Amino acid sequence: MTLLTGPEATLPADWYYDPAHYDRELNAVWYRDWVCVGRHEEIAEPGDYIVAEIGTQRVIVTRDSQGAPKAFHNTCRHRGSALCQTVRGHFPNGRIVCPYHTWTYSLDGDLIATPARLEVGDFRFRDFSLYDVHVDSWGGFLFVNFADVPLTSLRESLGTEADVLDDWPLETLVSAHQEKKSLACNWKVFWENYCECYHCPRLHPELCRVVPLYRKGVLSHADLPDWRPQDDQDDGRPTVAPGLSTWTIDGRSTLPAIEGLDERHRADGMAFASFTASMFVVAHPDYVRSVRMQPLGPEGVQLTIDWLLPPGVREAHADSFGRILGLAQRVIEQDSRACELNQQGLKSIRHRHGVLVPQERTVWEFHEWLRAKLVGSDEAARN
């Protein structure tokens, strides 16, 4: 693992608030990549639906009569009316009905009825199916992709990060608790905050008690100049403090351990998987937490946080379930204040860009990732 060897400039400050650049990022990232929009249990039955908002786009995610996930733009083919008026619900009788002129579609998106339309001229129903959107799932998470042809499959896009969570039965877990939080900052500010722990000693005292390495302001032992691996399996990953087991305020939990985890996963107490830029997942021996991001404009982002458990665990442990919420809630609140302060300071007419210190290597990697996305999108637009 290589630290930054000298000061590196951050992204230009106006990239965090300029509307034109925000549109450029929507086209380069959010409208070209696989974006997580929910969990499979949110559309448990055929006809159940959720509506996700990504930039200016609204997408319906549902299940067809065979239970396969389907996704469509929330737009009627007649004159463009929104089809769904709520963010979740159920399509009665397996029909998607426009609230304006009652054009009716199947759960496969096929136009099947146009009530009261005068039969004049050659009107072919097959020419007016809903605008479909690519949809796929992994680990119980639902992803959409707006590209005409995605650059990669979902699994290819997730890469080796997904392998980190192979031992957790993500597909069978369910959301036991969900919270949404809107932040007054650009989406990149929040992702950068996630990418580094330089801020941890000052902002997260409770977290640093559970994960002592974070007191040093680094994410990994490998970020420390004098670190040497203890064996071939030692990659420097952080662990909870000796005697602790998970992320709670006191580092302990009375929930049952998730089945199938090996001794290392139980001892580490934590495992991170990052899926730039729409989601990261933190897995513990007793629960899993996912954080999804949704850009709300140049200076806004919404977080959706799910605490995932095996079915029935919350109900069986109702008295102690709340213990797994507290630490993450506190960390998110602390990060939220910091990110909003960060956003407020970026508009100084003197501030063209910031500077990264050695342990902010992962922030630099994120910046390089974004620059490459923008270049690729610009080249595609020219061609």
Q: What is the pLDDT of residue 229?
A: 75
pLDDT at 335 over 80: yes
Bridge partners of 309, per DSSP, are 174
pLDDT band of residue 4 (cuts 50, 70, 90) is low
The length of the chain in residues reads 383
Q: What is the pLDDT of residue 349?
A: 96
Q: What is the pLDDT of residue 121?
A: 82
Q: What is the pLDDT of residue 2?
A: 57
Of residues 376 and 279, which shows the higher confidence score? 279
Q: What is the pLDDT of residue 200?
A: 98
Asked whether 280 and 290 are in contact (CB, 8 A), the reply is yes
Task: Please give the average per-residue pLDDT across 325-335, as a whole number.
Answer: 98
pLDDT band of residue 6 (cuts 50, 70, 90) is low
pLDDT at 1 over 60: no
CA distances (Å), origin 273, targets 162, 276, 277: 7, 10, 12
Bridge partners of 294, per DSSP, are 302
Task: Please give the average per-residue pLDDT across 113-121, as a whole number.
Answer: 91
Q: What is the pLDDT of residue 5?
A: 62
pLDDT at 234 over 90: no
For 156-215, the pLDDT digits (tens) are: 999 999 999 999 999 999 999 999 999 999 999 999 999 999 999 999 999 999 999 999
Three-state SS sequence of the chain: CCCCCCCEECCCHHHHCCHHHHHHHHHHHHCCCCEEEEEHHHHCCCCEEEEEEECCEEEEEEECCCCCEEEEECCCCCCCCCCCCCCEEECHHHEEECCCCCCEEECCCCEEECCCCCCCCCCCHHHHCCCECEEEEECCEEEEECCCCCCCCHHHHHHHHHHHHCCCCHHHCEEEEEEEEEECCCHHHHHHHHHCCCCHHHHCHHHHHHCHHHHHCCCCHHHCCCCCCCCCCCCCCCCCCCCCCCCCCCCCCCCCCCCCCCHHHHHHCCEEEEECCCEEEEECCCCEEEEEEEECCCCCEEEEEEEEECCCHHHHCCCCHHHHCHHHHHHHHHHHHHHHHHHHHCCCCCCCCCEECHHHHHHHHHHHHHHHHHHHHHHHHHC
CA–centroid distance for 155 within its chain: 15
Q: What is the pLDDT of residue 67?
A: 96
The CATH architecture assigned to 8-17+167-382 reads Alpha-Beta Complex (3.90)
pLDDT at 224 over 90: no
Topology (CATH level 3) of domain 33-145: Rieske Iron-sulfur Protein (2.102.10)
Domain boundaries, the chain: 8-17+167-382, 33-145
Tell me the pLDDT of the chain averaged across its residues: 95
pLDDT over 90, % of the chain = 89
Q: What is the pLDDT of residue 3?
A: 59
